[in-house]
Amino acid sequence: MELTFHGGARMVTGSNYLLESGGEQILIDCGLNQGSRFCEAKNFEPFPYDPKKIKALFVTHAHIDHTGRIPQLVRQGFTGPIYSTEPTKDFAELLLLDSEHILREDAEVHHREPLYGAEDVNRAGAQWRGVSYHKKATVGPFSIEFYDAGHILGSAILAVEAEGKRVVFSGDLGNMPPSFINPRESIPGADYVLVESVYGARVHEDLADRRDALEDLIEETVKAGGVVLIPAFALERTQGLLYELNELVEHGRIPRVPIFVDSPLAIKLTAVYQKYASDPRYFGPAAIASLKRGDALFNFPGLRMSLTKEQSKEINGVPPPKVIIAGSGMSQGGRILHHEVRYLPDPKSSILFIGYQAEGSLGRKILEGAKTVKLLGEEVAVRAKVKQISGYSAHADQPQLLEWLRPMRLSAKKVFVVQGEEIEALPLAQKIRDELAMDAVVPTEGEVVNL
């Protein structure tokens, strides 16, 4: 069996792995490269394999850095089945259509052909098949089983078997304990493991600390008469934050101020969460118990959903204090930019980062202390308080990654540390070698390994 790293090697985004056995090829994930302009330019490069020869694609979860090039793959001749859990399938349709719109506009600015069109998203949807956890799918010599990754609703760890070998792809592993979905599963054994490393060198705040930090920032900003800006990814991060804010509001821990979700995509994705909210395959016991008591998981006094452009513009007419949650999560686009132009220069206001900020992204520049940033064509001063709470990340931190690997330490011949910048991946690989005595390496893009 041969494994090739076509993305996610020494970088967070662009997850794309090719497995070959007996002349048959399958893909694990087909993600968009995101972050710097150099990184995003890679999306326009040809696939390093023939899409027509791929027998099937298996998707760990719906985030665009794992799914964003699937319609492009279909456009270039891939006709095989696409497998994921049902929630991932539902999320991906919404995310890919939203991404198509953004990519089309970007292509027009740079005088390029769009990567794909809405018709390609629809064709991909026709090839997409939903599977449940612990139900195996067979393609040629490959047998693939989905396990719960606890990262976002429907996220999966994939265990691939062929030629008598077992290769485990972590996908993105969830931070523990998750707010409302089921926790990630442990895998008892594997011959080879690919483990993500987004936070491979870091330790998150615990649940109580992150909630206290959120409460303190909102209280301080409200007292000052400012605005709390929260750039948030539409999928999972927004819903996790709403779940947390629900707890704080209903227990009187933060002042009653307007809280806006200014993201049409996040609002549509929240509806998918509500579709599966009573399903114990995906939601944890505490969340299901709350639903049975009649508590709406993503609704509370003061929450306002801004679906249309007109509703978004009306937020400006609501005087501070207020909280605005909007995409995109790295401030690379979306409605958050309009609010940042308005409130970043205000020393009474705050900007809170609760998700990963990729190298080269606008969010990363603000987080690293930029005094001015270019937003919507103008230079904007950054005088607002800048805060990061990493405990809200949906990704496991270093201790959790090591704990997930521990049950496989006696069986695994090698661990490949992927989906992280070198500053995160290299320290994690060293920790794996030192603490678990496992052979761990950080592969490079295009590297081919015979398993």
pLDDT of 99 reads 87
**Structural domains present in the chain:** 2-202+394-450 (3.60.15.10), 207-392 (3.40.50.10890)
Mean residue pLDDT of the chain comes to 93
Task: State the average pLDDT over residues 373-398.
Answer: 92
pLDDT of 36 reads 61
pLDDT in tens, 212-269: 999 999 999 999 999 999 999 889 889 989 988 988 998 899 999 999 999 999 999 9
Q: Check: CB of residue 16 under 8 Å from CB of residue 7.
A: yes
Question: Among 388, 445, 390, which Cα is nearest to 422's?
Answer: 445
- pTM exceeding 0.85: yes
Residue 167 CB coordination number (10 Å): 24
Q: What share of the chain is helix, strand, coil (3-state, %, to 5)?
A: 35, 25, 40
Residue 443: which residues within 8 A CB-CB, separation 6 or more? 5, 9, 10, 416, 417, 418, 449
HSE-up of 97 (CA within 13 Å, CB side)? Answer: 13
pLDDT of 41 reads 76
Task: State the average pLDDT over residues 303-312.
Answer: 95
Task: State the average pLDDT over residues 327-339.
Answer: 91
C-alpha to C-alpha distance for 128 and 67, rounded to whole angstroms? 12
Residue that is written with structure tokens 């940042």 in the block: 340
pLDDT of 109 reads 75
pLDDT of 237 reads 86
Stronger pLDDT, 177 or 8, i.e. the higher one:
8
Q: Check: CB of residue 400 under 8 Å from CB of residue 175.
A: yes
Reported as a pLDDT band with limits 50, 70 and 90, residue 39 is low
pLDDT of 3 reads 98
Stronger pLDDT, 68 or 209, i.e. the higher one:
68
Q: Check: CB of residue 234 under 8 Å from CB of residue 94.
A: no
pLDDT of 196 reads 98
pLDDT of 103 reads 82
Task: State the average pLDDT over residues 360-377.
Answer: 94
pLDDT in tens, 101-144: 878 877 787 788 889 999 999 999 999 999 999 999 999 999 99
pLDDT of 35 reads 66
* Residue 62, both tokens: 């719906």
pLDDT in tens, 73-108: 999 999 999 999 999 999 999 999 998 887 887 778
* Residue 286, both tokens: 């505490």
pLDDT in tens, 285-301: 888 888 777 777 788 89
C-alpha to C-alpha distance for 245 and 142, rounded to whole angstroms? 44
* Residue 66, both tokens: 């794992």
pLDDT in tens, 391-440: 778 899 999 999 999 999 999 999 999 999 999 999 999 999 999 999 99
